[in-house]
Amino acid sequence: MQDESKKACVVEAAASGVISRYRDRLPVGEGTPIITLGEGSTPLVFAPRLSDRIGGRVFIKCEGLNPTGSFKDRGMTVAVSKAIERGAQGLICASTGNTSASAAAYAARAGIRCAVILPAGKIASGKLVQAIAHGARIISVDGNFDEALRIVRELGDKGEFAIVNSINPDRIAGQKTAAFEVVDELGDAPDIHILPLGNAGNLTAYAAGYAEYRQLGKARGLPRMIGIQAEHAAPVFHRRVIERPETVASAIRIGNPAGWDAAQRAIDKSHGAVEIVTDEEILKAQSWLARTEGIFVEPASAAPVAGLFRLAKGKRSDLISENVTIVCTCTGHGLKDPEIISARFSQAAPVAATLEAVREVISRS
Ligand SMILES: *Cc1c(COP(=O)(O)O)cnc(C)c1O
């Protein structure tokens, strides 16, 4: 009886998630075991005040609502399912945080080992906590993300582990489902799609998804793809490798993106652009989005909102007008990186547990 209910639970889980929703568009077959946590189908939320402020119709794709709190789960379900199909005994990845959180969770779900290589001291606490909770082997290296990825590539080449970084094409295949969802919901592709640009896998995945849907006749056009980088971690914008990338937005603190060429091609083909924003603009946008639209995202995810503010004011402002539909991907949840917020606020001392004392504090401006 107990076994029966366990089986029922697994079958039910396989009925949700991006593979079940878009199976015919993904590289899975009859024999592929589906490892899913019900990822995808995230809200596409209209942002009225953001729309007002920049003068277009802006929707936020809230990818922080995936099972581990970032879009990485979309690619991970495909990458891990395929790895299991090929007989992998373990996963490995280099990570700025969210890939490791996602890989750790999906490895646990699949019942295999997971090793994550992290740049020491550069991971937001929420993400590290996830990798620990899911039982991953965590190795922090005295180097940056790009160096961590180089080690992972070498280990993967030796066939010891399945690499689940976005250099794995199964990840990109899974991530393109976000573009499918946007078109399925809007009835067409948006005019502009704007998102943070780190290792540059996600922008390429969206562009591939939109192109595929246009070919199928589900979308009429292709959106301009606009990638946003942080000022001091902007290799694609500056067209050169950045040896020591620095930004508060740790998820896009990358100096030599693995998906650079593919992303550049996707941007050029779509008549898109790469823009940069400062850390100050990122934090301002994060706070504005949380306070004004009720959407709390991690710093990297606020970069495209900061990018939109710049775009609306700058020399490309001609791209935006009232009838222009813009989708902004907010890639990860705000709770991933609580210190960014808590470091700026000191906990107030407690007051007496009386109505008067509480009322007095509330009435202070
Ligand atoms: C991974 C990640 C990014 C960067 O995506 P790329 O595919 O590497 O460009 C941006 N934001 C968050 C929250 C991420 O986890």
Ligand 1 binding pocket includes 273 (Cβ within 6 Å):
no
Domain count for the chain, please give it. 2
pLDDT at residue 7, as a whole number: 52
Indicate which CATH number applies to the domain containing 87.
3.40.50.1100
The pLDDT of residue 123 = 87
Cα of 251 to ligand 1 centre, how many Å? 5
Q: Is pLDDT above 80 for 158? A: no
Task: Report whether residue 225 contacts ligand 1, using a CB cutoff of 6 Å.
Answer: no
Question: Of ligand 1's atoms, which has the minimum distance to the CA of residue 254?
Answer: 8
The answer to whether residue 335 is domain-embedded is yes
Domain match, 182 and 329 both: yes
Kindly tell me the number of DSSP H helices and DSSP E strands found in the chain. Answer: 16, 10
3-state DSSP call for residue 32? coil
User: Rounded to the nearest whole angstrom, what is the distance from the C-alpha of residue 72 to the centroid of ligand 1?
Assistant: 8
Residue 159 within a domain? yes
**pLDDT tens-place string over residues 126-144:** 999 999 999 999 999 999 8
Q: Is residue 27 part of a domain?
A: no
The answer to whether residue 305 sits within a structural domain is yes
- Boundary residue ending a domain (167, 198, 213): 167
Mean pLDDT, rounded, of the chain: 93
pLDDT at 50 over 90: yes
CB 166 less than 6 A from any atom of ligand 1: yes
Residue 156 near residue 162 (C-beta atoms within 8 A):
yes
- Cβ 331 under 6 angstroms from ligand 1: yes
For the chain, percent of residues with pLDDT exceeding 70? 96
Q: Residue 354: inside a domain, yes or no?
A: no
What CA–CA distance (Å, rounded) separates 49 from 53?
6
Asked if residue 128 and residue 83 are part of one domain, the reply reads yes
Residue nearest to atom 8 of ligand 1 (CA): 199
Predicted confidence (pLDDT) per residue in 307-358, tens digit: 999 999 887 888 898 899 999 999 999 999 999 998 888 778 899 999 999 9
| Residues 49 and 99 reside in one and the same domain | no
The CA-atom distances, in angstroms, between 331 and each of 72, 103, 138, 194 are 8, 16, 23, 11
For the CA of 257, the closest atom of ligand 1 is: 8
Residue nearest to atom 1 of ligand 1 (CA): 251
Tokens of 104: 């750790």
Q: Which domain holds residue 78?
A: 71-167
Domain co-membership, 186 together with 324: yes
If asked whether residues 131 and 275 sit together in one domain, one would say no
Is 143 contained in some domain? yes
Please tell me if the CB atom of residue 332 comes closer than 6 angstroms to any atom of ligand 1. yes
pTM score of the predicted model: 0.93
